[in-house]
Structure 1
Amino acid sequence: MTDLLIHDAIVVTVNSENQILQNGSIRVTDGAISAVETTELGDRDSTAEHVIDASGKVVIPGLIDSHRHTDFTLVQGLFSELDGTELLKEAFALYHTAEPTLGDSFFEAAWQLACLRQLTHGITTVNAMDFTPELGAEAIGESGLRGMIGPELADFLDPASADEQLVEARRFIETYHDTYDGRVTASIAPGGEAGCSRELWEGVAELRADYPDLRLHTHLYDSAEADTMAAGSGADDPLDLLDRFDLLDDRTLLTHLLHADRDNARRIADAGAHVLHCPTVYSYFQAGRQTWFPLPALQEFDTNVVIGLDDPFWFDSWDLIQEAKHARLLANFEYGAQQWSSYDLLKMLTIKAARALGLDDQIGSLEPGKRADLVVIDVDTPRHQPYSNLPSVLMNTVTAGDVETVVVNGEILMEERSVESMDVEKVRAAATRERERLQTRTGWETSLAGSTPPDNSILRRISARPLLRAVTQYGRGFLNQHIR
């Protein structure tokens, strides 16, 4: 018997034929899509366990946020008016003070709020790199969402030693990988050439050898000093660093690449690695004199490029659809019009993102046999009607506020904007309480008009050890680039 039937929908399948059904039905049985077909008269009187009349609505695959840091969801608005260097100083300080000062309750509330925001924004899968991955795995699993999570490994930025971090990463993998009915999986997530010692990279290589099916998720070329930083680990450049440790292949996820060039793009494509692009974070702060994301070269070599939202404290956004729109506008501004079509962008948020995470046999398109991760979007409003070119409407006009219903693994997590899988008021109350504790303990002053950091930066109250190790490894250029 069909568990869920959605009928009379415009179904954007994102399948290999790019099929769009003008009047379609989706049947879900045991969490999987059992049929995607034209709506029959009998569908409207179906005896399925749950029936959704989607007349005038669009159904697309669930959205996938390909790169996210989640620990500091609760700092929204605090950093928004700081320049990039000031923000980084406060960010480093929070990373080193929040855990002992605020405790697990702060991060638990942050993860719960993040899950609620992702769910209500139509994001059904997130690829996260965080310092509190256990809390994240449990929050994602209990909310009904799907997530890939890696403990962020960065011994130049974290007081814990490389060995300690690697032991914890192994424990996390053994405990949480392939849990919550397979919705929660683990990755191996070194912070990148800027934050990791040679010793840590050696340990990462051992982890990768022991867990060959896991994705390797890292930052690369997000600084003009990237080659110098890689040299500190005995490599010619960041790609050579990964290659030396046998970490560059089709299971590798490379984030940012802001300062990569055409040759780097070719090497990435040759390896089959995937690129996670987060455009707004850099355009928001204009982070110094820099080249821009090398999109034409990546396209030339047919690299799989997908989109992520990055840190919530950078620009306070959870709308992945709008991030895709920004990606196109910024690319067009830099390189000329028509860098991506609307359908390209939709695929980057769905099937291409699923391929990057190694999940394209399970999610990313609406096809029989795949898990039922889908989003119902209301376009039957004056803001959207009348229209043609539906992909353009989805990527240019629709926002996360148009998301009406969210299904993951066949379970309805939100229907007609009513969240079913989480206690919304409890999540909001915890977030409010912990946000107030954050402000009290750190000395931030906030009002409706804005936010002001403490008079004496909390950066001065943390141990200098991680920063001094960074100077030893990379020279004064690291501090000048990142925390001056």
Structure 2
Amino acid sequence: MTDLLIHDAIVVTMNQENQILKNGSVRVTDGVISSVRATEPGDRDSAAGRVIDASEKVVMPGLIDAHRHTDFALVQGLFSELGGGELLKEAFALYHTAEPTLGDSFFEAAWRLACLRQLTHGVTTVNAMDFTPGLGAEAIGESGLRAVIGSELADVLDPASADDQLATARRFIETYHDTYEGRVTASIAPGGEAGCSRRLWEGVAELRADYPDLRLHTHLYDSAEADTMAAGSGADDPLDLLDRYGLLDERTLLTHLLHADRSDARRIADAGAHVLHCPTVYSYFRAGERTWFPLPALQEFGANVAIGLDDPFWFDSWDLVREAKHARLLSNFEYGAQQWSSYDLLRMLTIDAARALGLNDRVGSLEPGKRADVVVVDIDTPRHRPYSNLPSVLTNTVTAGDIETVIVDGEVLMEERTVESMDVESVRTAAARERERLQARTGWETSLAGSTPPDESILRRVSARPLLRALRQYGRGIVHQHGW
């Protein structure tokens, strides 16, 4: 018996033929899509376990956030008005305070809030690298979402920690890979050429050999000094660094690439590696002060590109649809109009992202045999009608607020904007409590008008040794993302 039937929908399949059904139905049995076809009269009176009337609405694959960090989701709004340098200093101080004094409850609340926000924004799969991956795996699994998660590795300021970090990553893989009915899988996540010692890279190569099916998820070329940083590990440049350790192939995910050039793009494409592009966070804090990633060359050589939100709490947006729009606008500004078509952007948010994560045999398109990760988008409103060119509507005018129903593995997690898989009030209560604890311990002042860092000097709040520890553990996540 069909468990779930969605009927009378505009079905954007994202299959190889780019098929769009004007009036279609999607059937789901045991979490798997059993058919995608034109709606028949009997569908409206179906005896399926759950029936969703999607008349005049769009049904499409769930969105995939291809790169993100989650640990500090509760800091949203604190840093939004700061410049890059000031943000860096305050982030170090905040991280140093939060880690030893707030404990797991702070990060548990952050992960649960992140899951709620992803769910309500139509993100059904996330690819994360974080310092609290176990908490993340449990939060993702319990929320009903899907994720690839890696324990972030960065030891450059404390090389003695390399073996401990590698052991932690191995334990995470052994404990959480392929759990929660296969919705949670593990990755290997070295921070990048700037954050990892030679010993750590050797250990990453050992992990890769022991777990050959896992994705390697890292940052590359996000600093103008990338070649110099790679030289510290005995390589000519960051791609050579990965290649020397056997880490550059079709299972490799490379994030940012702001300072990569045409020859780098060719090498990436030739290796079959995937590119994870996060445009907003760079343009928000340091617009105009760096080169843009080599999109024309990546397109010319056929590299697969997906889109991620990175740290959405820095710039106060969890909307992956708008992130795709920003990617188009910023690339057009840099290189000229029509760098990406609307359908290109939709693919980057769905099937191309699934291919990057090695999940394209399971999710990313609506086809029989795939897991039923589905979102319903309400475009039957004055904001959108009348329209033509549906892909353009979905990428230029739709926002995450138009997503009303979210399904993962055939389970309805949210219907008509009512969340069913999470206790929303408990998530909000825990987040508010931990946010208050954070502010009380750090001295941050917040109001409806904004946020103010503590008056006390960073040099008095954080001594040199703890600051280095904070940089190794948490600050690295800021440095490698923003090139400071």
- TM-superposed deviation, 1:313: 3.3
Shift of 1:98: 1.6
Written as runs of structure 1 = structure 2, the 5 A alignment for 1:272-351 is 272-286=272-286, 289-351=289-351
The equivalent of 1:448 in structure 2 is 448
Cα distance in structure 2, aligned partners of 1:464 and 1:160: 18
Mapped pair 1:464 → 2:464: yes
Matches within 5 A, 1:392-407: 392-407=392-407
Q: Distance in 2 between matches of 1:112 and 1:320?
A: 18
Note closer, same or farther for the CA distance 1:446–1:158 as it changes in structure 2 (3 Å cut). Answer: farther
- What residue number does 1:163 align with? 163
CA contact (8 A) 2:366 2:372 kept: yes
Local SS of the residue matching 2:202: helix
In the alignment, is residue 420 of structure 1 matched against residue 420 of structure 2?
A: yes
Moved more, 228-237 or 352-361: 228-237
Contact 1:312 1:318 in 2 (8 A): yes
Corresponding position of 2:30:
30
CA shift for structure 1 position 470: 12
Q: CA deviation at 1:234?
A: 1.0
Report if the CA contact (8 A) 2:157-2:468 is conserved. no
1:153 aligns with 2:153: yes
The aligned residue for residue 474 of structure 1 is none
Q: Please say if residues 96 and 462 of structure 1, whose CA atoms lie closer than 8 Å, have aligned partners that are also in contact.
A: yes
Given that 1:378 and 1:404 are in contact with CA atoms closer than 8 Å, whether structure 2 keeps it comes out as yes
Distance 2:226 2:469 in 1: 17
1:360 aligned partner: 360
Contact 2:222 2:483 in 1 (8 A): no
Cα distance change of structure 1 residues 359 and 376 upon mapping to structure 2, 3 Å threshold: same
* Equivalent residues of 1:9, 1:54 under 8 A apart: yes
Distance 1:205 1:396, change over 3 A: same
For the 8 Å contact 2:96–2:470, the answer to whether it is kept is no
Offset, 1:96: 3.3
What's the offset of the Cα at 1:465? 4.5
Q: Secondary structure at 1:2's aligned position in 2?
A: coil
Cα distance in structure 2, aligned partners of 1:264 and 1:470: 32
Q: Does 1:91 align with 2:91?
A: yes
Asked if 1:389 corresponds to 2:389, the answer is yes
* Partner in structure 1 of residue 474 of structure 2: none
Q: Aligned partner of 2:386: which letter?
A: P
- Whether contact under 8 Å (1:157, 1:467) holds in the other structure is no
2:90 is the counterpart of 1:112:
no
1:226 aligns with 2:226: yes
Contact 2:188/2:215 (<8 A) preserved: yes
Which residue does 1:241 correspond to in 2?
241
Contact map agreement 1:36 1:368 (CA 8 A) in 2:
yes
Q: What TM-score do you get using the length of structure 1 for normalisation?
A: 0.95
1:179 deviates by: 0.1
Indicate the percent of aligned positions where both proteins have the same amino acid: 85
Q: Secondary structure at the match of 1:188?
A: strand
User: Cα offset for 1:466?
Assistant: 8.1
Contact 1:11 1:20 in 2 (8 A): yes
2:383 and 2:5 map into 1 onto residues whose CA distance is: 27
> Structure 2 counterpart of 1:119, which letter?
L
Distance across 1 between alignment mates of 2:414 and 2:349: 20
Q: Which residue matches 1:133?
A: 133
Match of 2:475 in 1: none
Q: 1:160 to 1:421 in 2, by over 3 A?
A: farther
Structure 2 residue identity aligned to 1:90: E
Normalised TM-score (structure 2): 0.95
Name the structure 1 match of 2:121: 121
Q: CA deviation at 1:249?
A: 0.5
Distance (Å, rounded) in 2 between the aligned partners of 1:328 and 1:422: 33
Secondary structure at the aligned position of 1:422 is classed as: coil
Which residue in 2 is equivalent to 1:256? Answer: 256
CA distance 1:44–1:446, change in 2 (3 Å)? same
Distance 2:263 2:363 in 1: 32
Partner of 1:80: 80
Which segments of 5 or more consecutive residues in structure 1 lack a partner in the other structure?
472-477
Contact preservation (8 Å) 1:156, 1:467: no
Cα distance change, pair 459–360 in 1 and its aligned pair in 2 (3 A): farther
SS of match in other structure, 1:135: helix
* 3-state DSSP of counterpart to 2:358: coil
- The answer to whether the 8 Å contact 2:9/2:22 transfers is yes
| Shift in CA distance, 181/457, structure 1 to aligned 2, threshold 3 Å | farther
Equivalent residues of 2:74, 2:431 under 8 A apart: yes
User: In the superposition, relative to structure 1, how do residues 406 and 289 fare at CA in structure 2: closer, same or farther (>3 Å)?
Assistant: same
Superposed CA offset, 1:47-84 (max 9, x none): 00000000011001000000000001000000001111
Contact 2:194 2:229 in 1 (8 A): yes
Q: Matched residue pairs, number?
A: 478
Query: Aligned partner of 2:421: which letter?
Result: S
Q: Is the 8 A contact 2:93 2:467 kept in 1?
A: no
Q: In structure 1, how many angstroms separate the alpha carbons of the residues matched to 2:103 and 2:160?
A: 17
> How far apart are 1:305 and its partner, in Å?
0.6
How far apart, CA to CA, are the structure 1 residues paired with 2:411 and 2:468? 49
AA at the equivalent of 2:233: S
